[in-house]
Amino acid sequence: MKFEVNEVKIIEEEDGFKYYGIFDKDNKDWYEELKKFDKDTLKVMYNKDTHLVLSTNQDASMIAPTMAGDVVEEIPFQAVEIAPDNYFVDGKIVKLKECETIKDGKIVFNRDFKIEQIKKELSELKTEHSEKEFVYKEKYLQRNRELDKNNLNNIVTMMMATKKATFDGWKFKNKERTDEYVTLTMQDVLELSKIMTEQTTKAMHTETVLRENLVNLSDEDLKNYNASEEFKKLWES
């Protein structure tokens, strides 16, 4: 037994009493049809488009379809956990797995959701690789942070304005990871800026290539996609 709401309208009786009438496409009245459901079955109310479960009860009179598109269907009785993420598909109450959606009443792989998920991972990897620490002059460790790049640009401007040949007190970490303050020449400053820019550009390029390639991957490839491995592979190539 199944009832799908097609129309909800106000009914006024001769004595002036008004109530909401609920009808299917054949103009059958819900309040009459609910009497035809088996007493021992589980009645499931769900939305016909999303298949999201809205209510369940063994007693059909306790189900309240009030919107066009509400569907009440009976299935063999089973204990059902009340949860906001229950769906009714192919006569069963189910929960969607990650990256699943419902299309034409069937559970299918949600490509768009998975691609957006991967893009988020790639964006995080881009930031991680862009800011990655590098070794300068084989003994100094330098993070590629936006703050440091801005400071280097400011130092160039200051050195040109004051005609100073060096900048005293740039802080590196040495290989023992303790702070070491170093005097930089203009060439050092420009070289550091170049390394940082190239590293940032490489990270952005790697992310862009991988993002653009996602649309060409099969569903199976997307399901098994390892963003970290793919980023590393292209980064090191």
Tens digit of pLDDT for each residue in 127-161?
Answer: 999 999 999 999 999 999 999 999 999 999 999 99
Structure tokens at 113: 């959701």
Contact in structure between 107 and 94 (CB atoms under 8 Å): yes
Helix ranges (DSSP H) in the chain: 30-33, 111-130, 146-162, 186-213, 219-223, 227-236
3-state secondary structure of 213: helix
Q: What pLDDT score does 214 carry?
A: 97
CA distance 21 to 10: 6
- The mean pLDDT value for 193-215 works out to 96
The Cα-based distances of 92 to 74, 77, 88, 105, 209 in angstroms read 10, 11, 5, 12, 42
Q: Which residues pair with 56 in a beta bridge?
A: 44
CA distance 189 to 158: 12
Name every residue whose Cβ is closer than 8 Å to that of residue 172 and which is 6 or more positions away in sequence.
136, 140, 141, 142, 179, 180, 181, 182
Instruction: Kindly tell me if the per-residue pLDDT of 166 is higher than 90.
Output: yes
Q: What pLDDT score does 81 carry?
A: 86
Q: How does DSSP assign 148-183, residue by residue?
A: HHHHHHHHHHHHHHHT-SEEEEEEEEETTS-EEEEE
Q: What pLDDT score does 78 carry?
A: 87
Residues 68-120 have pLDDT tens digits of: 999 999 999 988 888 889 999 999 999 998 899 998 889 999 999 999 999 99
Contact in structure between 206 and 129 (CB atoms under 8 Å): yes
Residues 3-47 have pLDDT tens digits of: 999 999 998 888 888 888 999 999 999 999 999 999 999 999 999
Of 199, 196, 213, whose CA–CA distance to 122 is shortest?
213
- Helix and strand totals (H; E) in the chain: 6, 14
Of 98, 72, 102, whose CA–CA distance to 87 is shortest?
102
3-state secondary structure of 232: helix
Structure tokens at 60: 């059909």
Contact in structure between 204 and 131 (CB atoms under 8 Å): no
End-to-end CA distance of the chain: 61
